[in-house]
Structure 1
């Protein structure tokens, strides 16, 4: 049952909302989490948790249980069919988490939900936001069925179609046209590819991400002209035949689940409007190339949860302006990075030799390779002079 009031109301129980709530609960703040879905989804887009994200999760005691459920990947490869254009090793990263953790988003949500439950916070479902009124002392949120909740602060972590963002009147800027279409699935395949490395296949028709998960599962994500409503094994086999290994082709033996999605590259005009704060996909959406989306949202959430806890403990409201000032430029940089990766994947044939030469040059230059690893891992976001958090 919904409370009538709370210090912080978090709308959205995906990785971002759960992380923000956990950061607050660890500090003893009163936090309520609601979600519009009756039960958590068992399928999800994100499949990688990068090193810097794990460092941030260390700060709220959530990294260790998540690592126990995932597969550690020591590197990332960029390929053009059978040609390895670039290998990016993670073993030399300046982090205790010198790897990428391969784990389904649904498992990430399960772990975060469990950590919250251990602190006495449960996700309240299903509650759909229908209205929002803001004043100098906080926000009043209305829900379908007539219930209302009064909150000192409201966190919109309700995804790219965020009702919190819309109700708060925050713009969501981006191209008016050109939404990208993606097909994705968890599959079982016979494959000669390494079972501990993510591969990004570059093709004229679009990129294909091949990402290993625990228990022999492989996550496939492909940019396509128009994905079918229910892409089947034959559809993903055709994508692998067109974009994947040629000499020793993959063979799809089972599709565990599949889906499609469309998205624009968009960023919220601001991450704060009075007591309303945005994080994750409510504030930024972009191509999944590079596996940055959920990671950026989780880092948003640790920052926001910690900042809100400081304010609730007596810190100045201007700390929240600092959160917005830090996170929006970071979102702009990540959106641009994902866009550049997508454009590199879809270059016309006449420009692909120059692109491939660039990747080969990076591959043989350790400093350049290291910079790419830092960028993919998110460690380039670490504040200058900051040290990784100690294990809690």
Structure 2
């Protein structure tokens, strides 16, 4: 049975929704989490957690158990086949977490779910939100024919957010759609197993990222991604974009899928008692592994602002949330789009691109700025606490 009322109704039990709920529950706010799926997905999907996100997760006691189940990568490289164009040293980051963490999204969700369970909160599944209307100072949500009154509603329900649509919030951006293939595989490779790599190819970027247990995550922008990429398709991608002198040899496909993204952002992250976080508010290229990270940062910032309101703070704190996080999303979207464009430069411009990247990598201040940007630490000053 659903509760008839709750302080905060969080729609969506992915990393963003779970982190929002955990932030609230730790502050004693009554929170109800809904998800339309019968169970959490078991595939890995997003696979990198950056240093700043680990600092944010540490505030809600979720960093340590996640680190215990992940691969730490002290560097990130940008490559053109066998040439390293740029090496980004995460081990020099000014953080308690001087690395990127490579781990399945399913594990990230499991850690957050367990932390919530310790506080007596479980996601209600499967539950479908069908209506939202204003009711006094809050909202009345229709969920599978039942009415739930909430002081605030958080839309953490992804790209096709029902909350965003029911609240009438615009979702603007380009009409161009990018197609991506992603897969978890096992490969024989000479590439380091403590390093994530972005291969720049004329046909599009390829992300190569080691996960625990010898698994490698591949993500590639392609013209038309197959629904279930097979070994032959993925091997062809590696042959076309990966190492050339000693090419990777794929030995097993554990899982594969596809996804499409637009570059879009919500017109606002707040309208009255309705707030957005994560992909419900912004979607962009996966280059740089920024999507889930930004969603988790949204979540903890929003959960903190809501908890402060329940502790007697002014509701303008919620306006501060959207004023802070929306420009951050715009910045991340531009950065991810720029990484994607680097791969697609014409053959005539490629030598100049390669020289520029090598020069940037040879200048310590420039290299540091890139590391801060990729790790999310360049946004540290935007989020209080």
- Which of 248, 273, 277 is the equivalent residue of 2:246? 248
What is the deviation of 1:384?
7.0
In structure 2, what is the equivalent of residue 161 of structure 1?
A: 160
Aligned to 1:373: 371
| Contact 2:301 2:383 (C-alpha < 8 Å) held by counterparts | no
Deviation at 1:204, TM superposition (A): 0.5
- Specify the alignment match of 2:148 in structure 1: 149
CA distance in 2, matches of 1:143, 1:337: 37
How far apart in 1 are the matches of 2:245 and 2:383? 47
In structure 1, the partner of 2:192 is: 194
1:4 is matched with: 4
1:310 aligns to what SS in structure 2? helix
Aligned residue number for residue 296 of structure 1: 294
Q: In 2, Cα distance between the equivalents of 1:357 and 1:45? A: 33
Q: Secondary structure of 1:350's partner?
A: coil
Length-normalised TM-score, structure 2: 0.99
The secondary structure found in structure 2 opposite 1:372 is: helix
Rounded to whole Å, the distance in 2 between the matches of 1:121 and 1:36 is: 17
RMSD of aligned residue pairs (Cα, Å):
1.0
Correspondence 1:275 to 2:265: no
Residue 337 of structure 1, aligned match among 324, 328, 335: 335
SS at match of 1:192: coil
Residue number in structure 1 paired with 2:170: 171
Q: Deviations over 1:94-133 (max 9, x none)?
A: 0010000111101000000000000000111000111111
Which one is further off, 131-140 or 360-369?
131-140
Q: Which residue of 1 aligns with 2:23?
A: 23
1:347, CA displacement in angstroms? Answer: 0.6
Classify the secondary structure of the residue corresponding to 2:91.
Answer: coil
Instruction: Check conservation: 2:87, 2:361, Cα contact below 8 A.
Output: yes
Aligned with 2:315 (options 314, 317, 320): 317
Question: What is the SS of the residue equivalent to 1:296?
Answer: helix
- Runs of 4+ in structure 1 over 4 Å off: none
How many residues align structurally?
385
TM-score when normalising by structure 1: 0.97
- Pick closer, same or farther for the CA change 1:107–1:199 going to 2, 3 Å: same
- The CA distance in 1 between the partners of 2:174 and 2:326, in whole Å, is 17
Alpha-carbon distance in structure 2 between the residues aligned to 1:2 and 1:181: 38
CA shift for structure 1 position 135: 3.9
Q: Give the 5 Å matches for 1:23-62.
A: 23-62=23-62
Per-residue CA shift, 1:236-262, capped at 9, x if unaligned? Answer: 000000000000000111111100000
Greater shift in the superposed pair: 269-278 or 133-142: 133-142
Equivalent in 263, 271, 274 of residue 265 of structure 1? 263
Where does the alignment leave 5 or more consecutive residues of structure 1 unmatched?
A: none
Deviations 1:309-338, CA, capped at 9 Å, x for gaps? 000111111110000100100000000100
Question: Which deviations, in whole Å up to 9, do the C-alpha atoms of 1:248-303 show, x marking residues without a partner?
Answer: 00011111110000010000000001000000000000000000000000000000
TM-fit CA distance, 1:86 = 0.4
Aligned-pair CA distance for 1:136: 4.3
